[in-house]
Chains A and B, each alone.
Chain A
Amino acid sequence: MSSEIIRIHNKLKSKEISCTEFVKGKLKELEESTSNSANFLLTESALKRAQAVDEKIANGAEIGLLEGIPFGIKDVFLLQGEFASAASDFLKSYISPYTATAIQKLIDAGAIPIVKENCDSFGHGSSSENTVFGPVKNALNEKLVAGGSSGGSAVNVAKGYTLFSVGGDTGGSIRQPAGYNKVYGMKPTYGRISRYGLMAYASSTDCVGPISNSVEDISTLLNVMSGKDYHDQTSLVSSPISENIFKRKNEAPKYKIGYYKNFLDSEAIDPKIKADFLKLIDQLKLNNIEVIELDFYDSGILVSTYYTIAMAETASNLARLDGTNYGNRLTAESLKESYSLTRSENFTDETKRRIIGGNQVLSQGHSEEIYLKARAIREKIEQSFIDEFQEVDIIISPVSPTPPPKIGDNLNDPLAMYLSDAYTVGFSLGGLPTLSAPFGTETGIQITAEKMGEEKILEFVIYLRDEIYG
């Protein structure tokens, strides 16, 4: 599918549709949806912004590409004056005091936020079932999970309720739900997009990224949201993605491709996903593209390293939630009792499991043999990526080892949920840019490049879309 943004932009410009009516239509679709993908509709502000766009067009003024384009925001981002619940009881009534940098950039470009989207509470999950707003239902089959944690965002894009959505990805939270709902989802290089205004889960891997129906729109959105931000010192200066990648003779066939053999040798991989992925490898070779096998860390090590670090960081980040300055507060006999009661009653079971796990590995006696060791392993993983990208341009893999489970199936088996992140967490630990594309296997193909290699990824995905799956 080519750019949805350009298609609607042209319709608005030619007055074929009015922005107000278009936005109203999307809000109605969200309101009537049974997917549980929307936490809060931003009706009043969205219609006001849409009316302003209509007036501008009526006055004969030019509009920018994103002006009047409705989009969704995962409910872990701040948007001034609107709710930001993190899909939790704790922050169900919390109102954002300011706006996240990435969201502000989209608003400055004229895009219209219409919905705060359902997700796993504080990003803690891979299915969007860990939410107080009800489990998000898969866009293609309502009996299946939407994936997570940005499940509501992926479903809204897949259903066409939003033209694009902004998600957060810590260990696969954009890529996996994008794969489960057959849309594109990009986790950029760590730091390419500011994290300011995104509620922190694991700060050293948290990333902001777009979910959309086309590669062209992913490119546009990356360019709008990227850049160094005063408020986020880990943000980086980056070069924009060139429009030429959509026009020039594709460079992708010259790229050397790598894939991890041990991902495919795993007993956990679904046979159909494995067969479809190997078919892609064969097809690339038939097209004279050089493809090589790579050895990588065992999935168990990747998942355990990621969760050890993520739990330690979330335990620290969520320590601020005690009902003192904001969020729901429950009072008890003493201050410590109040903290304890507030946190016990307002966090979900999965969030508590991660906080407790984090404090466990940070505590005396455990930090050396678990947390510090996990950090050292992470550094080795980062070094492996640097070495591997000396040898290849792109690494491809399935997005997930298995298809989406039924709603409820993994709720009582957290370990199974953690292991479903086996193919995405490694790239998060490396801070690498990686995109999931909606073809190749039942849950898509994941395409990864070295840091700041987003342009290469997009070039290669265009090649796959047009030449292999076109």
Chain B
Amino acid sequence: MTKLMTLDVLSSIKGAKSSDAVDELFKVIKNAHFDKNEKVFSKSTIINAVLLENLRDDEIIQSSQTEKELIKKNFPNEKNGFLVVSKVIDN
């Protein structure tokens, strides 16, 4: 079953609507002549990404004490020494 999501839900922005300026840009891409079957690149041309075989393993790195304190300091709300999460659980 397909569930359609509107732009405001997808973006979590109230009243989100597409803009004419941005639609103009997308129209250019839609109308561009492009042969989908044309093979255009090899592995050697992609360098703005990491190839899977070059990815390092995930590692856990402990943050410094200063970093941990600053992360807590940035938390939006604090009450009686606890960080206050928004109404996550009841949803």
Contact = CB atoms under 8 A, between A and B. Distances in A.
A205 B49 CA distance: 10
B80 interface: no
Interface in B47-78: 47-50, 54-56, 63-64, 66-67, 70-71, 73-77
Interface residues of B, number: 55
A337 B34 CA distance: 42
Interface string A353-370: 111110111011010011
Looking at chain B's contact residues, the main secondary structure is: loop
B70 A360 contact: no
Interface in A68-106: 80-81, 94-98
B30 to A, nearest CB: 6
Nearest to A305: B29
A452 to B, nearest CB: 10
Contacts of B16: 352, 356, 359
A377 B49 contact: no
B28 interface: yes
Interface stretch (A340-348, A435-443, A459-467): A340-348
A352 B64 CA distance: 34
A307 interface: yes
Nearest to A326: B74
A123 B8 CA distance: 22
B48 A205 contact: yes
Contacts of A338: 86-87
B5 interface: yes
B45 A386 contact: yes
Interface stretch (A24-32, A248-256, A328-336, A388-396): A328-336
Looking at chain A's contact residues, the main secondary structure is: helix
A339 interface: yes
A189 to B, nearest CB: 9
Interface residues of A, number: 71
Interface in A299-331: 300-301, 303-305, 307-308, 311, 315, 322-329, 331
A338 B85 CA distance: 11
Which 3 A/B pairs are nearest by Cβ-Cβ distance? A329-B76, A304-B28, A97-B70
Interface of B: 2, 5, 7-8, 10-22, 24-26, 28-30, 32, 34, 36, 38, 40-41, 45-50, 54-56, 63-64, 66-67, 70-71, 73-77, 85-88, 90-91
Interface of A: 80-81, 94-98, 190-191, 204-205, 233-234, 236, 300-301, 303-305, 307-308, 311, 315, 322-329, 331, 334-336, 338-341, 343-344, 347, 352-357, 359-361, 363-364, 366, 369-370, 373-374, 376-377, 379-380, 382-383, 386, 413-415, 418, 431, 451
